[in-house]
Amino acid sequence: MPGYISLHRDIQKHWLYEEDRVFSRYEAWLDILMRVNHAEGKTTHNGTVEVVPRGSTIWSMGDMEKHWGWSNKKVKRFLDCLERDQMLSYKSTTKKTYLTVINYDIYQGGEEPKAPPMHHRSTTEAFQKHTNNNVNNDNKENKEPKTNRRKQVYDIDSIPFRSANYLYEQILVNSPDLKKPNLQNWANDMRKLIEIDKREPIQIARLIEWVSKDQFWSGVILSAESLRKNWDKLIVAMNRGDSNAKYGRRAKGYTAEDIAKATRDDDLASGGLQVSGLQGSWNDDHIRNI
């Protein structure tokens, strides 16, 4: 809703405002608006009387750093941002900083304008754009929560979840004390293996079996993410024939696709692939529907 509200400067004395915290850029900008003079005034500094016009104030970089909980570099970057967007002008000496809010009457005018001031709108949009462009720099000093995204929930009978659970059960054979992971996260990695990396479910199952029997890789692959990350290395190791006792033959010379096809043909010929832990069989229809 367009318009204005009256915000008294005494809010700065409220216990909520005085709470010890790191200021956001928005809070710092409001803080400046409430600190500048609403009317021309005089102040003394080192025995010298200075006239401070309406919309201006005299502050120091050190006090801004302490009050906002920022570093000197962040304060300077913030003031430069406001100045570039023509929201304020400032001038710093070794001991003090002069701040002047541009178009102060827009924020403290006695009457509500009939239409939003163009300068106010443009500077606000520009400030927002600048803020977005520099979010990475400021996150280093003032961590902000990331936006939460709705995650896909996998049914326990879905192939990604069954694959994740099968990997977990195989890992437990060698690492029985492994803490139970978030299988939904593992299932999501399995989905990526199938949908993005174009790996067949039967191929994933056979590689999991091979990994669980390999003396080295069984201690490395402890999650679905690491299985996906090291997929190519695992295929190379398996192709060297490090382990393939289940079928009585070595995998040397086979590609990943050859291995998947050979194992699928062998098992489907007997009526379906039966893999312990996958809660059922994968027949040809299952594979085609993935």
* SS3 assignment, position 284: helix
Pair of tokens at residue 73: 């570099």
Is the full-model pTM beyond 0.75? no
- Do the beta carbons of residue 85 and residue 127 sit within 8 Å? yes
What span, in angstroms and rounded, lies between the C-alpha atoms of 263 and 257? 10
Torsions phi, psi of 99, nearest 5? -115, 135
Partners of 274 in the β-ladder: 281
Residue with the larger pLDDT of the pair 264 and 176 = 176
Residue 101 dihedral angles phi and psi, to the nearest 5°: -80, 125
Higher-pLDDT residue of 55, 262: 55
d(Cα 15, Cα 177) in Å, to the nearest integer?
A: 50
Q: Which residue has the tokens 């295929």?
A: 235
What pLDDT, on the 0 to 100 scale, is given for residue 252? 39
Model confidence pLDDT, tens digit, residues 272-287: 434 444 434 444 443 3
What does the pLDDT look like over 218-261, one tens digit per residue? Answer: 989 999 999 999 999 999 988 887 544 443 333 334 344 444 45
The larger pLDDT score, comparing residue 138 to residue 96, is at 96
Token couple for 187:
């299932």
Q: How far is CA 266 from the centre of its chain?
A: 45
